[in-house]
Amino acid sequence: MASNRGVAYIKPGVVEIQHIDFPELAIGNRKCDHGVILKIVSTNICGSDQHMVRGRTTAPEGLILGHEITGEVIEVGRDVEFINVGDIVSVPFNIACGRCRNCKEGKTGICLNVNPARPGAAYGYVDMGGWVGGQAEYVMVPYADFNLLKFPDKDQAMEKIRDLTLLSDIFPTGYHGAVTAGVGPGSTVYIAGAGPVGLASAVSAHLLGAAVVIVGDMIPERLEQARSFGCETVDLRKDATLEEQIAEILGINEVDSAVDCVGFEAKGHGNCSHIEQPATVLNSVMSITRAGGAIGIPGLYVTGDPGGVDENAKIGNLGIRIGLGWAKSHSFHTGQCPVMKYHRQLMQAILYEKVHIAKAVNVQTISLDQAPNGYDDFDKGAAKKYVIDPHGMIV
């Protein structure tokens, strides 16, 4: 049998490369005739993975990580009709059956049939159905005809793979955050967080026609990365309030839309920038979003956080000032991005040179063996998006 290796979560702060089973077209004891096996072309380290590696979820030891996957098809199940061996495909991080009510409504992030514990599933993620992750050399993908986005030209795909690899998650997720926040031509938007998803959301806001895109963070290198493609920035380490810094840019202390790309490990502003305050982003974006505006929340919030700052935070109960949002008639949109809603259009934007997402998020390719170092650097705030190249296929 062919060999396979993957990135395994061992304990908080520790991942290692392990030999793992070569994937089979099977789900448990059942054959998976609707699935394919992929040779991984690229697989990315995500901030959501980092939450697990920090020990901030209930992820079990030995979990093979990785939900951002692009691959080459090397085997197809008997029932697969439209995907062929040799195709280069993007894998949405959402696993979706294509048959249930939610999938038929386009809500592929909360498929009802792929996770016995709750709606929604993902590769290599805690409480998301037990699916083996894709930070590996090979992986199995179910419901292939429904899930996979086939790139129209293999050579073209490999030329643009640094951009196209981001279609599995962060580009659609950032775009979803901007769309659900109501970003459109001429609008002003504040994006909390200049990590890869925040930068992807900022790129998306530009693509959607925003007049001013403001990105807030505490890491100077990440703010510089945001400025590199035309964003205004807010340094949250400063004593000046978010409202004051917004007013310095716009002349008024509010924006039309806001996007939370931070999630539950948020920290306070100014003198409190070293203190974890899990509700601070949600409360701050309500304070600076105009009455009647919308807030997109692609940042991750969990129901189980062993490292939470108090007993409420450990089960996802946060001190959100919902009265303020209610009084301002805000709209809130939470949850996983339904990647398939956007990935084909965003692929076209990449292929036709309308966007250069890899440059914006500063993609850096590394080998599978370098993945532990990539996790360590990312945890320290590197202004980079690490893309793992298990087979040395990215030139």
CA distance to 1, 146, 198, 260, 392, per residue, from 123 (Å): 23, 16, 22, 23, 22
User: With a threshold of 0.85, does the pTM exceed it?
Assistant: yes
* pLDDT for res 271: 76
Topology at the third CATH level for domain 5-169+338-388:
Quinone Oxidoreductase; Chain A, domain 1 (3.90.180)
Contact residues for 303 (Cβ-Cβ < 8 A; gap 6+): 315, 316
Torsion of CA 26, 59, 341, 316, to 10 degrees: 140
CA terminus-to-terminus distance, the chain: 28
Cα torsion angle, 282, 285, 289, 293, sign: negative
In angstroms, the CA 208 to CA 200 distance is: 12
Using DSSP's 3-state secondary structure scheme, residue 287 falls into helix
Domain residues of the chain, as ranges?
5-169+338-388, 170-334
In angstroms, the CA 321 to CA 271 distance is: 21
Residue 325 neighbours by CB distance under 10 Å: 19
In angstroms, the CA 111 to CA 97 distance is: 7
* pLDDT for res 287: 97
Residue 322 neighbours by CB distance under 10 Å: 13
Q: Which residue spans within the chain are E strands per DSSP? A: 5-11, 14-19, 26-27, 30-31, 36-44, 69-76, 88-91, 138-141, 149-150, 188-192, 212-217, 232-235, 255-260, 289-297, 331-334, 363-366, 385-388
CA distance to 184, 202, 279, 290, 322, per residue, from 253 (Å): 19, 19, 20, 9, 20
CATH 3.40.50.720 matches 170-334: yes
* pLDDT for res 1: 57
Tell me the mean pLDDT per 10 residues along the chain, length 395. Answer: 92 97 95 98 96 94 97 98 98 98 98 96 96 98 98 97 98 98 98 98 98 97 98 96 97 98 91 86 98 97 92 94 97 97 98 98 98 96 97 94
Burial class, 337, CB count within 10 angstroms (exposed 0-12 / middle 13-18 / buried 19+): buried
* pLDDT for res 2: 81
